[in-house]
Structure 1
Amino acid sequence: MRFPSLGLIGLGAALALTSFVSSASAVVTFDQNLASGWHQGTGTSNGHFAVDTEANGVELGLRASIRKVGAITPTGNLYIAPVGIKEGVALWNFEFSVNPGSLTGTYSLLTITGPGGVLAFDPKIIPDNKPIGGPLYQNSENLAFAFLGGPLNFNPYLSGVYTFDLKLFSANRELLGDVSIQVNAVPEPSTWAMLILGFAGIGFMAYRRQSRPAVLAA
């Protein structure tokens, strides 16, 4: 997103400090389709979400995806994403879906914890959430976007572990739903292969240097 972050961060901090009443039963499933569907409009399809399904039609979803490619297949609620940058942002996105169902007056809180810090905000107020005009709201975000990467001190080139926790509250601060995922950002397999070959090459050269005097002495 490209918009000022002060209001967003301030609201998130206020919500993070607000006490709430816990009552959600948290029926969480992994690697699932959203019953609400995926309407965000990035061209990616439904699926591979961690989903919390509650009463009154409440459904929360989180997942990680490769930017402009598609969702990452998780193991439980763990997603392995590649480090690096393309078109000025990280190679991977996080994607959320909030459906308050038949309930009104709700608000959500997305808390992101990473190596550079913690950020909490209400994703409902992101301007380009999809679909527009209904209670359901969804989006695909990137930690390298200015309003996220700045407070988190995010570096897309570095490996790291990121936890995303999405909660939905009623107007009287009752917890209605909660789902979380973990994203491990690591070098791509091809990068690991190059590093391993590089280390192997260094080891071979060191071996040759050590063995050469013995050959000459013979």
Structure 2
Amino acid sequence: MKKLKIAALLLGSMLSASASATLLYDTNLTSNVIMGSGISNGGFTVDQANGFELGLRGKIRHNATGAAENTFNSNGDGTYSFDVGVAPTQSSPTGVWSFEWSINSNFDGNGGFLNGYTYILGLDTDPSATAAFFTFDPINDVNPNPSSGVVAWDHSIGNNTTAQSAGVESASNDAATYAGLISSNNVAQNSWKPHWYIPGFDPTVDGIYDISLSAFDANGGLAASTSIQIIVGAGATAVPEPQTMALLLTGLLGFAARKKFAK
């Protein structure tokens, strides 16, 4: 009974937050884009709430020459469109596109450092009209893709004044440095190819991939949440919004409950 009651409260808070959230489309982050080299701002789908700024976007990761571009292919409504197929100069399962995320846990002075909160990144593993979410905490969890060779996360980390492309990354085996970075900074960003974190990703299949990013306050309440759709090739028949949201919230609910009872 206790688990069911907590689950109901979590679901209620998520539904309330999702109903009232106002996302900003095709916009800049308030901080610089501190990851990588020469990566520009813009094209993000952003939620700003309760001290958090969460951003997601799609991006061309491999163009005709195999190079990355600052081309985000935003449709201005939280959807991003890309070609289907294996990326030029690359081998399968590398696709043309990547997705980029940003967490700012104190964009307006009403938050704190990154390690004071929990987060959920939800990745749709099914390109068809059915959504199936793989979820993890990209700040506090152990990297769920050990084949990447990254033991400690290699996010670019900084604060509201960190210069363009000047984020600090910990070495792949330096968990202590990473822990120090997230306990003294409020911005974390990364750029990921879909096959790194979407189990079974096939770049040759047309489809629609839903990606969500949520932040929870120190009491476990949903504080902010953003989401995007990556439309690949001709796409697929989109899931009606209420069904997509119900599936997403169910996945988030299960993840949050597991984390709560694991403590």
Output the TM-score relative to the length of structure 1. Answer: 0.69
Q: CA separation of 1:26/1:144 partners in 2, compared to 1, >3 Å: closer, same or farther? A: same
In the alignment, structure 1 residue 121 sits paired with structure 2 residue 136: yes
Aligned-partner SS, 2:119? strand
C-alpha distance in structure 2 between counterparts of 1:45 and 1:52, whole Å = 19
Shift of 1:107: 1.2
What is the match of residue 159 of structure 1? 206
Asked if the contact 1:50/1:61 (under 8 Å) is kept, the reply is yes
Larger radius of gyration: 1
Q: CA separation of 1:155/1:38 partners in 2, compared to 1, >3 Å: closer, same or farther? A: same
C-alpha distance in structure 1 between counterparts of 2:85 and 2:188, whole Å = 28
Asked if the contact 2:46/2:54 (under 8 Å) is kept, the reply is yes
Per-residue CA distance 1:95-150 (angstroms, 9 max, x = gap): 100111123511110111142642111121451101233221110011122xx24x
What is the match of residue 185 of structure 1? 232
Letter in 1 for 2:205: L
Q: Which ranges in structure 1 are unaligned for 5 or more consecutive residues?
A: 1-16, 188-218
Fraction of identical pairs, as percent: 32
Asked if the contact 1:163/1:180 (under 8 Å) is kept, the reply is yes
Aligned-partner SS, 2:219? coil
Letter in 2 for 1:66: I
Output the TM-score relative to the length of structure 2. Answer: 0.58
Q: 2:156 aligns with which of 114, 126, 130?
A: 130
Shift of 1:44: 1.8
Letter in 2 for 1:45: S
C-alpha distance in structure 2 between counterparts of 1:98 and 1:41, whole Å = 16
Aligned-partner SS, 2:195? coil
Q: 2:195 aligns with which of 144, 167, 173?
A: 144
Asked if the contact 2:124/2:134 (under 8 Å) is kept, the reply is yes
Q: Which ranges in structure 2 are unaligned for 5 or more consecutive residues?
A: 1-6, 62-67, 144-152, 158-167, 169-180, 235-263
Q: 2:215 aligns with which of 168, 173, 176?
A: 168
More strand by share: 1
C-alpha distance in structure 2 between counterparts of 1:109 and 1:43, whole Å = 28
Q: How many residues align?
A: 166
In the alignment, structure 1 residue 55 sits paired with structure 2 residue 50: yes
Shift of 1:42: 4.4
- Counterparts of 1:15-30 in structure 2, within 5 Å, are 20=10, 21-22=13-14, 24=17, 25-30=20-25
C-alpha distance in structure 2 between counterparts of 1:143 and 1:186, whole Å = 15
C-alpha distance in structure 2 between counterparts of 1:64 and 1:28, whole Å = 16
In the alignment, structure 1 residue 97 sits paired with structure 2 residue 102: yes
Letter in 2 for 1:26: A
Aligned-partner SS, 2:34? coil
Across the aligned residues of Structure 1 and Structure 2, the Cα RMSD in angstroms comes to 2.2
Asked if the contact 1:110/1:120 (under 8 Å) is kept, the reply is yes
